[in-house]
Chain A
Amino acid sequence: MFVRDYMTRHPILVEPDASIVEVQGMMSENNIRHVPVVESGKRLAGLVTRQNLRISPMELASLNVWEITRRLSSLRVRDVMVRARDVITTTPDTPIEEAARVMVQRRIGCLPVVEDGIVMGIITEIDLLAQLTALLGAQVPGWRATVRVPDRAGEFAKITAAVASRGWGIDAAGSLPAPRQPGYWDVVIKISAATRDELISVLQQIEGQEILDVRATGP
């Protein structure tokens, strides 16, 4: 689970002297929000996001319609981009949760993936959310069960042992500290081999755990 496997390889790139109008059109046409700016040899020079392309309302108010056109047509990517030294980047070998942590902490939507100064790809919040859906099994149909377990060793093993004893496979699993209830964890598992009643009867037999929810999910 490293960035190299989940990033978008060969992202759309622009050069510093590309026109803003063109980049704006290209971003909306391809439905992308971030474009790394590169110099020759794909060296990172900066980053353009949709925010960079916005003209502030105050500035807008001071211009008439002709001035806006002229101003926009003369603007180049280099004038509006976030410069390379201010762009937060990651590397292909970073674990994805580490990349996600950086994005949460800095409140940013993407990280250009850079190796030896060369842009290898880009990883965005969408890429990470896609992996979250895969992690919790949203891409396969089946039963999604949430179980609240005490925070001590061996509780997760009880679940897997119970499921394995019936010969079912776990399609996806994840666990988080229970919200608003310290000392407990919420475990989510996804199972497709069993019926709903079979699954509940197996999970009910585990002592000290509480079934919070069982529902069908998937496409």
Chain B
Amino acid sequence: MTGDSLPRPPILRVHDLSISYTTRRGPVEAVREVSFEINRAMTFGLVGESGCGKSTIAFGIVDFLGPNGRITDGSIKFQGREMVGRSQDELRKLRGDQVAVVYQDPMQALNPSLSIGDQLAEVLIVHRGISRAEAWRKSIAMLERVYMADAAQVMRRYPHQLSGGQQQRVVIAMALLNDPALLIMDEPTTALDVTVEAAVLDLIEDLKRDFDTGILYITHNLGVVARVCDEVGVMYAGELVERGSVESIFARPLHPYTQGLMRCVPRLGTTKQSSQLFPIRGRVPAPPDRPRSACIFAPRCDHATEVCHNERPPLRVILPGHSARCVHAETIDPAAWRPHPADQVAPPSRPAAESADAIILELDGLKTFYAQESRSLTSLIGLGGKRYVKAVDDVSLHVPTGCTVGIVGESGCGKSTLAKTIVGLESPTAGRAQFLGFDITVPVSRRDLRLIQELQMVFQNPDSTMNPAYTVGHQIARPLQRFRTVPPDQVYDEVIRLLRAVRLDPSYYDRLPRQLSGGEKQRVGIARAFASRPDLVLCDEPVSALDVSVQAAVLNLLLDIQQQYGTTMLFIAHDLSVVRFFSDYVAVMYLGHIVEFGPAEAIYAPPYHPYTEALLSAVPIPDPQAEQKCIRLEGTVPSALNPPPGCTFHTRCPRRRSLPDGGAVCARETPPWRYTAGSASPVGHRIACHIPLEILSQVEPVITTSRGEKRRCSCATT
């Protein structure tokens, strides 16, 4: 009962805002006629793909457009006062300390050479003119408010001594010290792990309530929007194409683009057998190519008619409090939508390789340690013992032929090291690894050429894995020549065939990497990986750097190629919905160990390993109505230099207390592998936990979808 019935003026009112950048080729309109309002204690989410103008709006509000950016039209009223057309000096006075911004990368916002305490206290000393002792006291109180454990200690630390999640908490605390009326958050959790992200999102929700702050939340992640936003604006190519309450938008997306976005993201629980992702065909037009007097989405829209190409639709109210910029909004039924025939992918049949003889890759007790010199005096003279970062510790894994095995876990859990060890970029410290009967514990430089040919990799960042000086054709031809996959006179034809396989036009042969979009680069990366017709492809976060619509296209492509060639894949990702969608088997890693392994559907249903359960409860689900259990892990991942004894997860395990003696056994003994009923095979469902399976089986599923009231996560985070 906060008197919400009272009409209060909005904190921010953006009306018909247009922003241009001046470039050598003339002005580029980045944002066009955008309007929205933000009230107290309300989160307005701006979603859209990269380059659609989300951040430009935020920059416009705080006047960080840079020397070539200019607000060309419209008004921004902050706290009732017009901001457009004022000088820097006046703006500073108007905004005062009432607007705060939190960016994606917390390390950019913190000064690495000052302690956290000095940076926080400075805010108060400068803006409020209070004494240092008082500022220090208030800063500690604020750190406690953002659930920072051991706040007084943290005040004396430096940014590099904090984890990413802690750094982002410090930045949020710093933003809130001045009690701002408006908080702008530009992808604040994108750089964080899911478990940390979940805790930060809970925090944002709590703070909005307690501080009555209006929040402008910019993100590309529909799941995050569903979790934190009250109202949403969907941006496309600089225009706001749809605006409404979060429930209304997810229940009934009106604009074809919003509908397309929803079809691009795998929902947690869907599989490649049960459903399909539909990328939005075409690509976002570059600002100079955007039509002035036509629907901006018309070229990619399946519902476009004559009128869409000739007239620019206005943003019209269609449902109460829900408007869209589409002339056909009332008549389009998203359920009646049918994909373009070219986008249809036959649902892959499930490989029936359940027996152990069809195992292509076999890891047994694999360990990869990185030696770390200790800084003590004894080690200086060569007597001290070396310490090891146990990046991969005792991993046993069987990969059946023709299947996709997903590997998930937080950053630093050893996913990438495992991939590098298999490929041969790192040498294992101990253990056995066999691929097609070959021993692959030898580094890549001493491997047989044929072995290298059968084991390829798709990397996360296609930019840094392509030589910017070589054309696309040259880059794909190189493995063909090296491995002599085809006779030299057929290399060109083979490259063209590969380009077509990844749905790129032969005209791409002569293009340079800088002339490609992110999605196209990743396609080239995939074409190159598949050029040698490998038996096993390791994909290390192949889609996490891509926009959702492109991500859907790349995932479909991988599925399609895998079908064609019968390739086995190891798929490393942090997005559990994507892994669930894409994989037949899933391995969950924590601190170098695999803690749970099994067929994908078994991983996502009870019994869970307590860590898997926590991961699943942290995934943002693009459905505001989904019911999700609230399990938040305490603390951060311990150092792999000195992993906890016994079960490595025992320091953060929320279920440990259910064991007799407070789970003393967890700290003492390595947990046994427990196989669920009827799955004793090497690829069966197994969980490494001291808690008996009968108890784990009684746990309720993490996610249930109900059509009730909007879910709000209300548990306290520590």
A interface residues with partner B (beta carbon < 8 Å): 5-6, 8-10, 12-13, 15, 22, 26, 29-32, 40-42, 116, 118, 120, 126-127, 130-131, 134, 139
Q: Given known contacts A26-B80, A26-B81, A41-B97, is B9 in contact with A12 (CB within 8 Å)? A: yes
Contacting pair B96 A10 (CB below 8 A): no
- B:110-133 near A, CB below 8 Å: 127-130
Contacting pair B1 A134 (CB below 8 A): yes
Is B446 located at the chain interface by the 8 A CB criterion?
A: no
Nearest neighbor of B81 in chain A, beta-carbon distance: A26
8 A-B contacts (beta carbon < 8 Å): A6-B2, A10-B181, A13-B98, A22-B81, A26-B80, A32-B9, A41-B129, A42-B97
Alpha-carbon gap, A127 to B129, bound state (A): 31
Residues of A within 8 A of B94 (CB): 15
Alpha-carbon gap, A6 to B11, bound state (A): 17
Which 4 pairs across A and B sit closest by C-beta, in order of nearness?
A: A10-B181, A9-B212, A30-B9, A41-B128
Contacting pair B40 A9 (CB below 8 A): yes
Query: By CB atoms of chain B within 10 A, which of A6, A41, A116, A126 has the most?
Result: A41
- B:348-384 near A, CB below 8 Å: none
Residues of B within 8 A of A126 (CB): 6
Neighbour of A127 across the interface among B3, B81, B127, B130, CB < 8 A? B3
Alpha-carbon gap, A118 to B11, bound state (A): 19
Alpha-carbon gap, A127 to B7, bound state (A): 10
Residues of B within 8 A of A9 (CB): 40-41, 181, 211-212
Nearest neighbor of A124 in chain B, beta-carbon distance: B6
- B:619-637 near A, CB below 8 Å: none
Is B5 located at the chain interface by the 8 A CB criterion?
A: yes
Q: Given known contacts A41-B97, A118-B128, A127-B3, is B79 in contact with A12 (CB within 8 Å)? A: yes
Neighbour of B212 across the interface among A10, A22, A30, A32, CB < 8 A? A10
Residues of A within 8 A of B129 (CB): 40-41
Nearest neighbor of B3 in chain A, beta-carbon distance: A130
Alpha-carbon gap, A26 to B83, bound state (A): 13
B interface residues with partner A (beta carbon < 8 Å): 1-3, 5-9, 11, 40-41, 79-81, 93-94, 96-98, 127-130, 179-181, 211-214
Neighbour of A13 across the interface among B6, B8, B79, B130, CB < 8 A? B79
Alpha-carbon gap, A107 to B396, bound state (A): 79
Nearest neighbor of B6 in chain A, beta-carbon distance: A130
Contacting pair A40 B127 (CB below 8 A): yes
Q: Given known contacts A9-B212, A10-B40, A30-B80, is B3 in contact with A40 (CB within 8 Å)? A: no
Contacting pair B81 A10 (CB below 8 A): no
Contacting pair A42 B96 (CB below 8 A): yes
Contacting pair A10 B127 (CB below 8 A): no
How far does the Cβ of A38 sit from chain B's closest Cβ, in whole Å?
8
Residues of A within 8 A of B213 (CB): 10
How far does the Cβ of A31 sit from chain B's closest Cβ, in whole Å?
7
Contacting pair A127 B96 (CB below 8 A): no
Contacting pair B128 A127 (CB below 8 A): no
User: Mostly helix, strand, loop or mixed at chain B's interface?
Assistant: loop
Neighbour of B5 across the interface among A12, A13, A139, CB < 8 A? A139
Contacting pair B9 A31 (CB below 8 A): yes
Residues of A within 8 A of B9 (CB): 12, 30-32
Residues of A within 8 A of B211 (CB): 9
Neighbour of A15 across the interface among B93, B97, B179, CB < 8 A? B93
Query: By CB atoms of chain A within 10 A, which of B79, B130, B213 has the most?
Result: B79
Nearest neighbor of B8 in chain A, beta-carbon distance: A8
Alpha-carbon gap, A134 to B5, bound state (A): 10
Residues of B within 8 A of A29 (CB): 80
How far does the Cβ of B142 sit from chain A's closest Cβ, in whole Å?
14
Contacting pair A120 B6 (CB below 8 A): no
How far does the Cβ of A136 sit from chain B's closest Cβ, in whole Å?
13
Residues of B within 8 A of A6 (CB): 2-3
Contacting pair B5 A130 (CB below 8 A): yes
Contacting pair A10 B98 (CB below 8 A): yes
How far does the Cβ of A160 sit from chain B's closest Cβ, in whole Å?
21
Q: Given known contacts A12-B80, A15-B93, A30-B9, is B3 in contact with A131 (CB within 8 Å)? A: yes
Query: By CB atoms of chain B within 10 A, which of A9, A15, A40, A134 has the most?
Result: A9
How far does the Cβ of A135 sit from chain B's closest Cβ, in whole Å?
10
How far does the Cβ of A63 sit from chain B's closest Cβ, in whole Å?
28
Alpha-carbon gap, A29 to B127, bound state (A): 29
Contacting pair B40 A127 (CB below 8 A): no
Nearest neighbor of B129 in chain A, beta-carbon distance: A41
Nearest neighbor of A32 in chain B, beta-carbon distance: B9
Query: By CB atoms of chain B within 10 A, which of A5, A31, A42 has the most?
Result: A42
How far does the Cβ of B14 sit from chain A's closest Cβ, in whole Å?
15
Alpha-carbon gap, A5 to B3, bound state (A): 9
Nearest neighbor of B130 in chain A, beta-carbon distance: A116
Alpha-carbon gap, A6 to B524, bound state (A): 59
Other A-B pairs beyond A12-B79, A15-B96, A30-B80, 18, CB < 8 Å? A6-B2, A8-B6, A9-B181, A9-B212, A10-B79, A10-B214, A13-B79, A13-B98, A15-B93, A26-B81, A30-B9, A31-B9, A40-B127, A41-B97, A116-B130, A130-B3, A131-B1, A139-B5
Residues of B within 8 A of A130 (CB): 3, 5-6
Nearest neighbor of B134 in chain A, beta-carbon distance: A116
Neighbour of B6 across the interface among A12, A116, A118, A127, CB < 8 A? A127
Residues of B within 8 A of A13 (CB): 79, 98
Alpha-carbon gap, A15 to B80, bound state (A): 13
Nearest neighbor of A30 in chain B, beta-carbon distance: B9
Residues of A within 8 A of B80 (CB): 12, 26, 29-30, 32
Residues of B within 8 A of A118 (CB): 128, 179
Alpha-carbon gap, A6 to B79, bound state (A): 19
Residues of A within 8 A of B79 (CB): 10, 12-13
How far does the Cβ of A50 sit from chain B's closest Cβ, in whole Å?
15
Residues of B within 8 A of A42 (CB): 96-97, 179
Contacting pair B179 A120 (CB below 8 A): yes
Nearest neighbor of A135 in chain B, beta-carbon distance: B1
How far does the Cβ of B655 sit from chain A's closest Cβ, in whole Å?
37
